[in-house]
Structure 1
Amino acid sequence: MASRDVEIGMIFLLQTIVGFLGNFFLLYYYSFLYYTSCTLKSTDLVLQHLIVANSLVILSKGVPQTVAAFGMKHFLNDFLCKLVFYAHRVGRGVCMGTTCLLSVFQAITISPTGSRWAQLKPQASQCIGPLSILCWILNLLVNAIILKHVTGQQNRMNNTKEKDLGYCSAVDIYHSIKGSLYVLLFSSYDVLCLGLMTWASGSMVCILRRHKQQVQHIHSTKLSPRSSPESRVTQSILVLVSTFVLFYTLSSIFILFLTIIPNPDLWLVNTSALITACFPTVSPFVLMGRDPRILKMHPTCYAWNRKFSKLIRCL
């Protein structure tokens, strides 16, 4: 085994462990919060779905890539290859959908009383749970097409239409009419979510700016009033959405290269997988670093979270 393969395997292993533990701790935190106080914010409910989707992406990408990097490229049979790629696509789609839902919900929540979006506030909190479940159902149905076109390395034929993805192979259908329809279907979902995220983020920035200007007129500069809880939650969601858009853009560029190139190099496959799992790995630490409630969970967490919060707020 080459030293380069060991290094790649260690990178994937470290990313998988860090990302899984971060999401597990955040899920434990919300569970602890619910069973001790029996109350959760509406945004916390969406974040729970996001955490599950993050874990799905990390496990479905990180574990197979790690094992393949250490030389075991034929460890998945046909069924497991289909399952792994299906789980990854569903997790990725739910990550995008819940992040979009989170930003839109918060934009409606902080909208001024006189705006037309303020009328949706009562309905928004009631619909956020069903919409999160609908996001799962939609991605489970749409991504079922992956099951037909992914096979294990054991069943791989010497076919020019098959792409070697390291530990599995996939039929190259994207240069056909049917493949173009698949790309259009997946892209329409991505474009819709990104468009809503852009609108919601722009609205939140404008609302926060107007709120800051109003506060400066009311309070003197000596008082330095603390930001409201809604403002802190909004800022956290803006950081989360910005992080998602950054990593999603990079991931989309590499996925485009994988789609266009008939036989992509292994480094391109590994880099694409590494970047794809970056948001699910980083997002729980972004949320923990900007949530003041987590400091009250355990005294020993206070010092670490205080330093990490300062680091995240500088982003």
Structure 2
Amino acid sequence: MASRFLIIGMIISTQTVVGILGNFSLLCSYIILHFMGYRLRSTDFILKHLILANSLVLLSKGVPHTMAVFGWKHIRSDFGSKLLFFLHRVGRGESISSIFLLSVFQAITISPWKSRWAALKVRAPKYVVPSIFLCWILQMLVNVIFPMYINSKMSDRNNTSNKDFGYCSTILTDQKSRKTRHALSAALLLFPDVLCLGLTLWVGCSMVLILYRHKQQVQHIGRTDASSRSSPVSRATKSILLLESTFVSFYILSSICQDLLALFDPPSRFLVDITIIIAACFPTVSPFLLISHNSSVHRLYFA
């Protein structure tokens, strides 16, 4: 039992350290490129906020859960537990919103001038900054209700039962109110995420179709210069599609684990740990995917 906790603690701590270093190095790369005079794309601003959201998820979930796994001092104040849970929810929601915005703006960028997206191609860059800040505000408003049901494991409140989540626990009372609370929280949690996920998949399929049609046109024309001009845009689109598919895969696994957590009362400690590990996979992997597929950042690292 002790060895299992040690292995899980090592996995979570390694994920947290590697993920934070990867996101921090990628953010520093964008800052260096900005001061070096490189012209960054409008989607790079969204990527910066995705990096910030990933770091928020890792810091608010990985660090305190590592402390809980290794048996270090728990967070004694309810305010600290509520704040960490709120930051995790906001960071996770902002990751979903950033992936959606990346897909939308990239689909507008690569769309032909004769398509229905053509009217937005010129105006789209102006809406990048307002859109990303609107997403932050909406995520804060949507998730502000959930910390009310979170308290510290060291709290002296006399609840009839608690659902343990490692460094914090949820406040549960009688069975009737518990079912109502679970239904309301599930609806509030799932609706924005499922909506963004569905729209992201639809936009991703649209980008694949646009790339396929463009490839067919280039092969029909038989001009190598047209292919060379479009290659940077195609590479950026494929990078976003790879990021999107990676996110969707880990999100589905994380959602399954979240549903199991809500189903079992109380959930096993192993299920809680696995949920944390899967939730941290995308914030850990995504910066390295971006580094390997971003030509400007790639050149900077080799330089």
TM-score (norm: length of structure 2): 0.93
Matching residue of 1:103 = 103
Question: Within 2, Cα distance between the matches of 1:215 and 1:59?
Answer: 46
Are the aligned partners of 1:50 and 1:98 in contact in 2 as well (CA < 8 Å)? yes
Matching residue of 2:60 = 60
Give, as a single letter, the amino acid of the residue that structure 2 aligns with 1:51.
I
Farther-moved stretch of structure 1 (173-182 vs 112-121): 173-182
Instruction: Please provide the CA RMSD for this pair.
Output: 2.1
Question: Within 1, Cα distance between the matches of 2:172 and 2:286?
Answer: 32
Matched-pair identity in % = 52
1:216 aligns with 2:219: yes
Question: Within 2, Cα distance between the matches of 1:68 and 1:10?
Answer: 12
Question: Within 1, Cα distance between the matches of 2:206 and 2:12?
Answer: 37
Question: Within 2, Cα distance between the matches of 1:220 and 1:136?
Answer: 44
1:229 aligns with 2:222: no
Question: Within 2, Cα distance between the matches of 1:7 and 1:224?
Answer: 52
Question: Within 2, Cα distance between the matches of 1:38 and 1:76?
Answer: 47
Question: Within 1, Cα distance between the matches of 2:165 and 2:181?
Answer: 21
User: Match of 1:114, SS?
Assistant: coil
Matching residue of 1:112 = 112
Give deviations 1:123-182, integer Å, cap 9, x for gaps. 211111111001111111111112211100111556454201122111248843344233
The 5 Å alignment of 1:152-231 reads 152-155=152-155, 157=157, 159-172=159-172, 175-219=178-222, 225-226=227-228, 228-231=231-234
Question: Within 2, Cα distance between the matches of 1:8 and 1:179?
Answer: 28
Structure 2, unaligned runs of 5 or more = none
In the superposition, relative to structure 1, how do residues 236 and 38 fare at CA in structure 2: closer, same or farther (>3 Å)?
closer
Farther-moved stretch of structure 1 (117-126 vs 200-209): 117-126
Question: Within 1, Cα distance between the matches of 2:118 and 2:92?
Answer: 31
Structure 1 runs, 4 residues or longer, greater than 6 Å off = none
Matching residue of 1:303 = none
Matching residue of 2:248 = 245
TM-score (norm: length of structure 1): 0.89
Matching residue of 2:32 = 32
Aligned residues: 299
Farther-moved stretch of structure 1 (189-198 vs 172-181): 172-181
Matching residue of 1:150 = 150
Question: Within 2, Cα distance between the matches of 1:106 and 1:141?
Answer: 27
Bigger relative CO (Cα 8 Å, ≥ 6 apart): 2
How far off its partner does 1:220 sit?
A: 7.2
Matching residue of 1:83 = 83
Structure 1, unaligned runs of 5 or more = 301-315
Matching residue of 1:141 = 141
How far off its partner does 1:293 sit?
A: 1.2
Give deviations 1:70-126, integer Å, cap 9, x for gaps. 112524421111111111000000000010011011111111111111111122111
Question: Within 2, Cα distance between the matches of 1:110 and 1:75?
Answer: 48
